[in-house]
């Protein structure tokens, strides 16, 4: 197991927790996109069975494999036709932002659950193995959902941040962006796999994530006290 763990981004014994957290995070993320697009008048995702909380509907084989071997991955993208929206640009921003915001909400829910469990000592009588399992799950649930919020807001295709930029900038800028969109994926991969760039950008995302999670915990402390 130690040999396998050296080649994985997560400890081997933590993989069930990681996969469960990503299944929840990706499912709600894509559901948020699909549901709002449907409510705004685009039934494309609905007709493809994507307005659902069934993880299998959002499962992507390559994204899951990369998740296990590289520490990042993706679910099956939700198709969105902005031309069907009454206000394409405004509603496009809302639909794009809904995914990352769903992950931020999950991170907050995780912090709230953690706070309640600690303040009520609800797990005090549980077996040590169960306590460790809950602690590990919440650690990944809070940390990974918070990170996904920031990560998906990066302004590189195919991430949600890029789609938001597309809908915010003037039309002539959007047309120019589309000319270079094919290269955005390579920039994105460079950020992930080139260590100095990874530390500069991805490392900063982890810092912001820690700050936000700490802020959530302080909010819960104020609520308790």
User: Which residues carry out catalysis?
Assistant: 30
Cα→Cα distances 41→54, 57, 78, 166, 208, Å = 22, 21, 15, 20, 35
Is the CB of residue 191 less than 8 Å from the CB of residue 198?
yes
| Residue 189, both tokens | 């991969």
Residue with tokens 């994105």: 188
Is the CB of residue 34 less than 8 Å from the CB of residue 51?
yes
Is the CB of residue 34 less than 8 Å from the CB of residue 50?
yes
| Peptide bond connecting 32 to the previous residue in cis, omega within 30 degrees of 0 | no
């Amino acid at each position: 197991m130690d040999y396998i763990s050296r080649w994985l981004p997560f400890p081997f014994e933590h993989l069930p927790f990681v996969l469960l957290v990503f299944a929840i995070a990706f499912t709600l993320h894509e559901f948020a996109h699909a549901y709002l697009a449907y409510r705004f008048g685009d039934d494309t995702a609905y007709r493809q069975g994507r307005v659902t909380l069934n993880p299998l509907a959002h499962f992507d084989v390559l994204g899951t494999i990369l998740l296990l071997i590289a520490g990042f991955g993706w679910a099956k993208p939700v198709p969105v036709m902005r031309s069907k929206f009454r206000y394409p640009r405004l509603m496009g921003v809302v639909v794009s932002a809904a995914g990352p915001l769903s992950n931020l909400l999950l991170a907050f829910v995780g912090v709230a659950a953690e706070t309640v469990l600690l303040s009520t000592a609800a797990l005090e009588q549980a077996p040590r193995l169960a306590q460790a399992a809950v602690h590990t799950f919440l650690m990944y649930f809070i940390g990974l959902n918070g990170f996904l919020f920031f990560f998906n807001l990066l302004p590189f295709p195919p991430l949600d941040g890029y789609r938001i930029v597309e809908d915010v900038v003037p039309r002539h800028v959007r047309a120019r962006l589309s000319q270079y969109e094919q290269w955005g994926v390579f920039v994105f991969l460079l950020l992930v796999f080139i260590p100095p760039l990874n530390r500069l950008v991805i490392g900063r995302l982890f810092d912001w994530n820690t700050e936000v999670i700490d802020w959530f915990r302080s909010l819960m402390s104020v609520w308790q006290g």
